[in-house]
């Protein structure tokens, strides 16, 4: 029997309870029925059994890190299909086949959590444009029923310490101040580096809980009747007699918007594809041209720098052209006319040997500076550019600054 295995196998062995423990050697392990990520402070899930020996998986809904998120995915994937699963941050288990009082209160808090979730779904339905939340509420109600049945919370039972635990629905329905404090002031998620659990008063949801009980939504009824009762719950809780008509109108408008957006997406895709095909056709046409033909097209502005490169092996690597009053290089740099006048005067001095070479800067149209590194054999080197004197003279003539 191996106790150090890879992470997916840790989850598999835990879910099937094939052995009493295993770990991946670092941060993911299980001991008995509980599986942990990074330590006992974060229990991913547990395999619980009730007094009848039936099994259920309690999978946490607590927030977690990216790595723990991967562990949680392995845990969920490892649970066999068809097993009873409760997604909850609550920790409930039997001790000597009986509930501890702490577990009894935690089991009540699970129901409170579900009622709060139902309230959120009902409120969301008022503004929803696409989602009908009745199935979500139905699932919450079914979860409450399964939870009560699994733990036997519908009848009186003795705790592990010998005290009597009353039926949970009666306690949650009680309006006595003591019961509201105990059963509707629930524990939250423990903050890191804090030993005390925060508590939050959620008695505001008790009225909704009583309404659910009064409507018999926790009892088994025919599917048609249940759907009617559930629909009426939404209408009464929102106070909108035309809730579903308004939802249908919003949904119809949203569906129309979605259709238009889909048509626009398809249209944009068709336009992009057509543009791409044209560009591919142009690219192939240009690729079959000689360098001299490409050069003339580039000078005239018919092709961009994207489609034009100079062949390797030349003593220069950049050409110049005049566009919109600026000098543009075949490597995509632009120099304004004022800066071009200053540079041309400098180049002329170097060309005629009337001045010794000195380092200078080229200030381009995007406010970037390029160092003039050398001038040899009538080739100016500035940054990554190597430009012939004849090229610079032709550009200067087009700007009207050279004879």
Bridge-based pairing of strands 85-87 and 55-59 is parallel
Could you read off the pLDDT of 372-390 as tens digits, one per residue?
Answer: 888 888 999 988 899 999 9
The span from the CA of 55 to the CA of 47, in Å, is 7
* Confidence category of residue 12, pLDDT binned at 50, 70, 90: very high
pLDDT of 21: 93
The span from the CA of 343 to the CA of 394, in Å, is 14
Tokens representing 247 are 């939802």
Could you read off the pLDDT of 287-342 as tens digits, one per residue?
Answer: 898 989 988 998 988 888 888 888 888 899 999 999 888 899 999 899 998 888 99
57-61, 168-172, 393-397: least confidently modelled range: 393-397
The span from the CA of 29 to the CA of 19, in Å, is 12
Q: Is the pLDDT higher at 128 or at 198?
A: 128
Tokens representing 379 are 């080739």
The span from the CA of 179 to the CA of 94, in Å, is 23
Nearest C-alpha neighbor of 112 from the set 55, 43, 162, 182? 182
Does residue 193 register a pLDDT over 60?
no
The span from the CA of 392 to the CA of 395, in Å, is 5
Tokens representing 278 are 């044209």
Does residue 353 register a pLDDT over 80?
yes
Does residue 189 register a pLDDT over 80?
no
Could you read off the pLDDT of 45-63 as tens digits, one per residue?
Answer: 999 999 999 999 999 998 7
- Contact yes or no for 94/106 (Cβ under 8 A): no
Burial 100-123 (b: 16+ CB within 10 A, else e): beebbbbbbbbbbbbbbbbbebbe
pLDDT of 369: 87
- Contact yes or no for 400/322 (Cβ under 8 A): no
The span from the CA of 188 to the CA of 126, in Å, is 28
Is this model's pTM higher than 0.95 or not? no
pLDDT of 365: 84
Nearest C-alpha neighbor of 18 from the set 7, 8, 32? 32
* Confidence category of residue 286, pLDDT binned at 50, 70, 90: confident
pLDDT of 150: 96
Give the mean pLDDT of 387-397: 91
Tokens representing 212 are 């659910």
pLDDT of 115: 97
pLDDT of 194: 54
Give the mean pLDDT of 168-193: 86
User: In the chain, what percentage of residues exceed pLDDT 90?
Assistant: 66
* Confidence category of residue 221, pLDDT binned at 50, 70, 90: confident
pLDDT of 57: 97
Three state DSSP letters for the chain: CCCECCHHHHHHHHHHCCCCEEECCCCEEEECCEEEECCCCCEEEEEEECCCCCEEEEECCCCCCHHHHHHHHHHHHHCCCCCCEEECCCCCCEECCEECHHHHHHHHHHHHHHHHHHHHHHHHHCCCCCCCCHHHHHHHHHHHHHHHHHHCCCCCEECCCCCEECCHHHHHHCCCHHHHHHHHEEECCCCCCCCCCCEEECHHHHHHHHHHHHCCCCCCCCHHHHHHHHHHHHHHHHCCCCHHHHHHHHHHHHHHHHHHHHHHHHHHHHHHHHHHHHHHHHHHHHHCCCHHHHHHHHHHCCCCHHHCCCCCCCCCCCCEEEECCEEEECCCCEEEHHHHHHHHHHHHHHHCCCCCCCCEEEECCCCCEEEEEEEECCEEEECCEEEEHHHHHHHHHHHCCCC
Could you read off the pLDDT of 91-141 as tens digits, one per residue?
Answer: 999 999 999 999 999 999 999 999 999 999 999 999 999 999 999 999 999
Instruction: Give the dihedral of Cα atoms 354, 356, 357, 363; nearest 10 deg.
Output: -60
Tokens representing 237 are 């809780």
The span from the CA of 346 to the CA of 394, in Å, is 16
Q: Radius of gyration (Cα) for the chain, nearest Å? A: 38
Does residue 201 register a pLDDT over 80?
yes
* Confidence category of residue 192, pLDDT binned at 50, 70, 90: low
Which residues share a beta bridge with 382?
A: 372, 385
Top-confidence range, 263-277, 309-323, 346-360: 263-277
pLDDT of 195: 59
pLDDT of 26: 80
- Contact yes or no for 337/325 (Cβ under 8 A): yes
The beta-carbon contacts of 180-183 under 8 Å, at least 24 apart in sequence, are: 180/206, 182/105, 183/105, 183/108, 183/109, 183/112
């Amino acid at each position: 029997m191996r106790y150090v295995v890879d992470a997916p196998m840790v989850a598999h062995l835990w879910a099937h309870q094939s052995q009493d423990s295993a770990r991946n050697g670092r941060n993911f392990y299980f001991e008995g029925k509980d599986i942990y990520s990074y330590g006992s402070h974060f229990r991913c899930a547990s395999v619980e059994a009730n007094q009848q020996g039936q099994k259920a998986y309690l999978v946490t809904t607590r927030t977690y890190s990216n790595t723990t998120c991967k562990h949680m995915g392995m845990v969920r994937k490892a649970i066999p299909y068809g097993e009873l699963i409760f997604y909850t941050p609550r920790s409930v288990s039997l001790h000597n086949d009986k509930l501890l009082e702490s577990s009894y209160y935690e089991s009540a808090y699970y129901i409170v959590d579900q009622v709060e979730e139902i309230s959120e779904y009902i409120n969301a339905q008022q503004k929803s444009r696409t989602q009908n939340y009745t199935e979500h509420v139905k699932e919450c109600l079914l979860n409450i029923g399964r939870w009560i049945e699994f733990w036997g919370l519908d009848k009186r039972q003795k705790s592990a310490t010998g005290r009597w635990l009353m039926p949970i629905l009666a306690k949650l329905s009680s309006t006595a101040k003591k019961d509201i404090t105990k059963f509707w002031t629930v524990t939250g998620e423990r903050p890191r580096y804090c030993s005390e659990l925060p508590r939050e008063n959620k008695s505001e949801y008790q009225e909704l809980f009583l309404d659910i009980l009064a409507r018999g939504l926790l009892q088994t009824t025919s599917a048609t009747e249940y759907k009617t009762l559930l629909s009426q719950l939404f209408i009464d809780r929102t106070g909108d007699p035309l809730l579903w008509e308004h939802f249908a109108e919003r949904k119809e408008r949203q569906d129309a918007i979605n259709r238009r957006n889909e048509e626009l997406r398809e249209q944009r895709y068709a336009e992009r594809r057509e543009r791409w095909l044209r560009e591919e056709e142009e690219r192939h046409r240009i690729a079959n041209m000689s360098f001299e033909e490409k050069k003339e097209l580039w000078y005239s502005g018919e092709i961009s720098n994207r489609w034009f490169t100079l062949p390797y092996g030349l003593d220069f690597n950049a050409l110049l052209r005049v566009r919109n009053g600026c000098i543009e290089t075949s490597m995509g740099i632009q120099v304004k006319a004022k800066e071009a006048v200053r540079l041309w005067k400098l180049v002329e001095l170097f060309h005629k040997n009337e001045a010794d070479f000195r380092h200078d800067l080229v200030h381009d149209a995007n406010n970037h500076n390029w160092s003039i590194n050398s001038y040899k054999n009538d080739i100016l080197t500035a940054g990554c550019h190597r430009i012939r004197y004849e090229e610079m003279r032709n550009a200067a003539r087009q700007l009207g600054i050279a004879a």
